[in-house]
Structure 1
Amino acid sequence: MSDGIRTLSWRRKLLFSVFTTVVLFALCEGAARVYLRFGGADEAPIRIGFDVDAAVEIDRRNVLYRADDACFFRLRPNIHIPEHITETLFDIRTNSFGMRSPEISREKPPGALRVLCLGDSCTFGTGAGQNDTFPAQLERELRGRLEGRAVEVINAGVPGFSSFQARMLLESEGWSFSPDAVVLTVGCNDRKPARPDEKRVYDASKFLGDREYHALAQRRNVLALTRVIGRWLAPRGLSAEAELAAQQSGKRRVPVPEYREELIHVVEACRRRGVVPVIVVWALYFEADPSTIRGRPLSDHNRSFAEYQAMARQVAREKDVPLADVPKVVAGTRGLYADGVHLNATGYGLVAREIADVLMPKLQRPAD
Structure 2
Amino acid sequence: MPTMHQYANLRAKLTVAACFFLGTFAVLEIVGRILLAPPPPNSFPGLSPNEIAHDELLWHHQPGFDDGGEDGPINNLGFRGPEISQTKSPGQFRILSLGESSSYGTGVGWQETYAYVLEKKINTQEHDVQVINAGVRAWSTLQSARFLELKIDELQPDLVLVYHEVNDFLPTSHRGINLHGSGMNDVEVMALYKSRRWFRWIIQNSRFVAGIRLIIARARASTIARITAEFRKQDVLSQPINTYFNIHRAQNNKKPWLSNPNPIVRLPTPLREKALQSLINTAQSRGVQIIFLHPSYRISRPHRCVMTRIARAQKIPLLEMDDVIYSHAARTGRHKAEYFIFGDKVHPNQLGHAVMGKGIADFLLKNNLIHPQPPTGTRGPAATTLPG
Give TM-score, length-normalised by structure 2: 0.61
Alpha carbons 1:75, 1:158 under 8 Å: kept = yes
Displacement of 1:282 after TM fit?
1.1
Provide the C-alpha distance between the structure 2 equivalents of 1:364 and 1:283, rounded to a whole number of angstroms. 24
Question: Which one of the candidate residues 29, 45, 49 is aligned to 1:63?
Answer: 49
Alpha carbons 1:322, 1:359 under 8 Å: kept = no
Displacement of 1:129 after TM fit?
0.8
Provide the C-alpha distance between the structure 2 equivalents of 1:166 and 1:194, rounded to a whole number of angstroms. 17
1:74 aligned partner:
60
Provide the C-alpha distance between the structure 1 equivalents of 2:267 and 2:372, rounded to a whole number of angstroms. 37
Q: What are the residue-to-residue correspondences of 1:288-303 with 2, within 5 Å?
A: none
Provide the C-alpha distance between the structure 1 equivalents of 2:90 and 2:371, rounded to a whole number of angstroms. 20
Provide the C-alpha distance between the structure 1 equivalents of 2:205 and 2:373, rounded to a whole number of angstroms. 56
Displacement of 1:109 after TM fit?
1.5
Provide the C-alpha distance between the structure 1 equivalents of 2:372 and 2:109, rounded to a whole number of angstroms. 36
Are residue 277 (structure 1) and residue 282 (structure 2) matched? no
1:155 aligned partner:
133
Alpha carbons 1:91, 1:130 under 8 Å: kept = no
Question: Which one of the candidate residues 356, 361, 365 is aligned to 2:361?
Answer: 356
1:43 aligned partner:
none
**What secondary structure does 1:153 align onto?**
strand
Q: What are the residue-to-residue correspondences of 1:1-368 with 2, within 5 Å?
A: 50=43, 63-83=49-69, 90=70, 92-144=72-124, 147-195=125-173, 197=179, 198-200=182-184, 202-204=186-188, 216=195, 233=205, 244-248=235-239, 250=262, 251-286=264-299, 310-331=305-326, 332=329, 333-334=334-335, 335-338=338-341, 339-360=344-365, 361-363=367-369
RMSD: 3.7
Displacement of 1:232 after TM fit?
9.9
Alpha carbons 2:93, 2:370 under 8 Å: kept = no
% identical equivalent positions: 27
Counterpart amino acid of 1:337?
Answer: F
The structure-2 alpha-carbon separation of the partners of 1:49 and 1:263, relative to structure 1 and needing over 3 Å to count, comes to farther
Provide the C-alpha distance between the structure 2 equivalents of 1:277 and 1:230, rounded to a whole number of angstroms. 40
Displacement of 1:132 after TM fit?
0.7
Provide the C-alpha distance between the structure 1 equivalents of 2:77 and 2:203, rounded to a whole number of angstroms. 26
Counterpart amino acid of 1:348?
Answer: H
**What secondary structure does 2:169 align onto?**
coil
Structure 1 residue runs without a partner (length 5+): 1-47, 84-89, 221-225, 288-304
Alpha carbons 1:194, 1:247 under 8 Å: kept = yes
Cα distance per residue 1:278-302 (max 9 Å; x no partner): 1111112255xxxxxxxxxxxxxxx
**What secondary structure does 1:80 align onto?**
coil
Provide the C-alpha distance between the structure 1 equivalents of 2:373 and 2:163, rounded to a whole number of angstroms. 27
Provide the C-alpha distance between the structure 1 equivalents of 2:206 and 2:147, rounded to a whole number of angstroms. 25
The structure-2 alpha-carbon separation of the partners of 1:190 and 1:232, relative to structure 1 and needing over 3 Å to count, comes to closer
Displacement of 1:63 after TM fit?
2.6
The structure-2 alpha-carbon separation of the partners of 1:336 and 1:168, relative to structure 1 and needing over 3 Å to count, comes to same
Provide the C-alpha distance between the structure 1 equivalents of 2:234 and 2:164, rounded to a whole number of angstroms. 24
Counterpart amino acid of 1:183?
Answer: L
Provide the C-alpha distance between the structure 1 equivalents of 2:138 and 2:283, rounded to a whole number of angstroms. 23
**What secondary structure does 2:168 align onto?**
coil
Displacement of 1:363 after TM fit?
2.7
Give TM-score, length-normalised by structure 1: 0.64
2:32 aligned partner:
none
Displacement of 1:261 after TM fit?
1.6
Displacement of 1:247 after TM fit?
3.0
Structure with more of its chain in helix, by fraction: 1
Number of equivalences: 276
